[in-house]
Amino acid sequence: MASTSASLLKSSPVLDKTEFLKGQALRHPSVSLVRCHPAPSLGFSIRASYADELVKTAKTIASPGRGILAMDESNATCGKRLDSIGLENTEANRQAYRTLLVSAPGLGKFISGAILFEETLYQSTVEGKKIVDVLTEQGIVPGIKVDKGLVPLAGSNNESWCQGLDGLASRSAAYYKQGARFAKWRTVVSIPNGPSALAVKEAAWGLARYAAISQDNGLVPIVEPEILLDGEHGIDRTFEVAKKVWAEVFFYLAENNVMFEGILLKPSMVTPGAECKDRVAPETVAAYTLNLLKSRIPPAVPGIMFLSGGQSEVEATLNLNAMNQSPNPWHVSFSYARALQNTCLKTWGGRPENVKAAQDALLLRAQANSLAQLGKYTGEGESEEAKEGMFVKGYSY
Ligand code: 13P
């Protein structure tokens, strides 16, 4: 099947950016507003060989009642998690924890994809079985974090940019060979620090280049411009910034000829800043977030897989559930790390005798979010621990 958006883009003139961002193009379809740039045929011909597979992978991940387990903490971040339960940050401890996660019995019923850090993609379980094979046998698509983390953005207001484009094509080809079928690139936008026009443009451009390179190599890109929870601002300010960010992201995705049917998004939910005194109900988060999605995200995009961003486990599940109370054009689901793993990690505590209880804790959260994806979560019987927020100022991944 030929890609609809790719072939549309191939035959369409490229819109002027100002008009695209203002959403004016349909109201002023005048020839003077468009420039003609024929799409580079080389890019399309490479991607054409993967087009069907990309669409299929994205649809598999965006399947009813399932979402993504984000377990792609870098070694440094994983070290902080292990430290919180008194364990040393050794490869053996990381392997033991990740073995516990991927081999939770029946996980594939609720989880359609797992994002791995590079070490895990090439790692075996404690029992010596390839982690990629364990996932595949569970019906879970293996994915890979491909960004190289955040560094200061010179010339900005103390903001950051995301590294990792150098060598990305060859790394992506190797990850595909190793069994990965989707990729993740997380960049961040800070509201208290601006966001400056420079930081938003840099974030959007980096995501678009990464998305095009991923598709060329058979990996479905998860596009993640995380709008950090940090700040005292209210929900309206988050909404305003999110609209700007997503307008830029989709402008550059189109400019880079990214096939919309073969991507997944990982947005932040639209909430007040973590330090804002006015808290809002899940129904309000859902209304703002769906309003944002409807005004910015084309229905061709198969799945919207939210990050949890420091919300408590229960809060993240309640908010997702509220968004699924009526039908959406896309599969609206989860790609949580902290909101799936927190109780599981604490329950494990590094002790072999706790592995089963920790797996049960993971399955409980996965099932709760599966129900929330279907709009059927009630929130009954949740522990007090699962209601504790996990916000950390300036969180890195
Ligand atoms: P959280 O759900 O902990 O915010 O994870 C974000 C992320 O990008 C993981 O891949």
Q: Measured from the CB, is residue 244 less than 6 Å from ligand 1?
A: no
Query: Is 266 among the residues known to form the active site?
Result: yes
Which positions ≥6 away from 69 have C-beta within 8 Å? Answer: 101, 107, 111, 113, 114, 115, 140, 336, 340, 366
Q: Measured from the CB, is residue 338 less than 6 Å from ligand 1?
A: yes
pLDDT at residue 11 in the model: 37
Ligand 1 atom with the shortest distance to the CA of 224: 8
Q: Measured from the CB, is residue 223 less than 6 Å from ligand 1?
A: no
pLDDT at residue 16 in the model: 53
pLDDT at residue 49 in the model: 87
Ligand 1 atom with the shortest distance to the CA of 316: 2
User: Which tens digit of pLDDT belongs to each residue from 46-99?
Assistant: 566 899 999 999 999 999 999 999 999 999 999 999 999 999 999 999 999 999
pLDDT at residue 47 in the model: 64
In a domain, 149, yes or no: yes
Count of domains forming the chain: 1
In a domain, 100, yes or no: yes
Kindly state the tokens that stand for 236: 């309206």
Q: What's the average model confidence in pLDDT over 305-334?
A: 96
Query: What's the pLDDT band for 389 if we cut at 50, 70, 90?
Result: confident
In a domain, 219, yes or no: yes
Mutate which of 118, 222, 397 for ligand 1? The one with the most ligand atoms within 8 Å of its CB, which is: 397
Residue 302 has pLDDT above 60, yes or no: yes
The Cβ-side half-sphere exposure at 204, using a 13 Å CA radius, reads 23
In a domain, 106, yes or no: yes
* Under 8 Å between Cβ of 299 and 328: no
Give the closest residue (by CA) to ligand 1 atom 6: 307
Query: What's the pLDDT band for 380 if we cut at 50, 70, 90?
Result: confident
> Under DSSP, is residue 188 helix (H, G, I), strand (E, B) or coil?
strand
Average pLDDT of the chain? 89
> What ranges make up the beta strands (E) of 7-74?
14-15, 34-35, 67-71
Query: What's the pLDDT band for 5 if we cut at 50, 70, 90?
Result: very low
pLDDT at residue 4 in the model: 43
User: Which tens digit of pLDDT belongs to each residue from 14-34?
Assistant: 445 655 554 433 333 333 333
In a domain, 136, yes or no: yes
In a domain, 395, yes or no: no
Q: Measured from the CB, is residue 72 less than 6 Å from ligand 1?
A: yes
Give the alpha-carbon dihedral of 104, 107, 111, 112, to 10 degrees.
100
Query: Is 224 among the residues known to form the active site?
Result: yes
Query: What's the pLDDT band for 8 if we cut at 50, 70, 90?
Result: very low
> What percentage of the chain carries pLDDT values higher than 90?
82
* Under 8 Å between Cβ of 333 and 320: yes
Which positions ≥6 away from 208 have C-beta within 8 Å? Answer: 249, 252, 253, 255, 256, 258
> Of all helices (H) and strands (E), which one includes residue 111?
strand 111-116
Q: Measured from the CB, is residue 245 less than 6 Å from ligand 1?
A: no
Residue 42 burial (CB count, 10 A)? 9
Query: What's the pLDDT band for 393 if we cut at 50, 70, 90?
Result: confident
Helix H, strand E, coil C: the string for 329-374 is CCEEEEEECHHHHHHHHHHHCCCHHHHHHHHHHHHHHHHHHHHHHC
Domain carrying residue 318: 2-387
In a domain, 393, yes or no: no
Residue 180 has pLDDT above 70, yes or no: yes
Looking at residue 337, which CATH number applies to its domain? 3.20.20.70
User: Which tens digit of pLDDT belongs to each residue from 202-241?
Assistant: 999 999 999 999 999 999 999 999 999 999 999 999 999 9
Query: What separation in Å is there between the alpha carbon of 304 and the centre of ligand 1?
Result: 14
Q: Measured from the CB, is residue 309 less than 6 Å from ligand 1?
A: yes
In a domain, 394, yes or no: no
Query: What's the pLDDT band for 186 if we cut at 50, 70, 90?
Result: very high
Whether the model pTM is above 0.95: no
Cα–Cα distance measured from residue 138 to residue 101, given in angstroms and rounded to the nearest whole number:
12
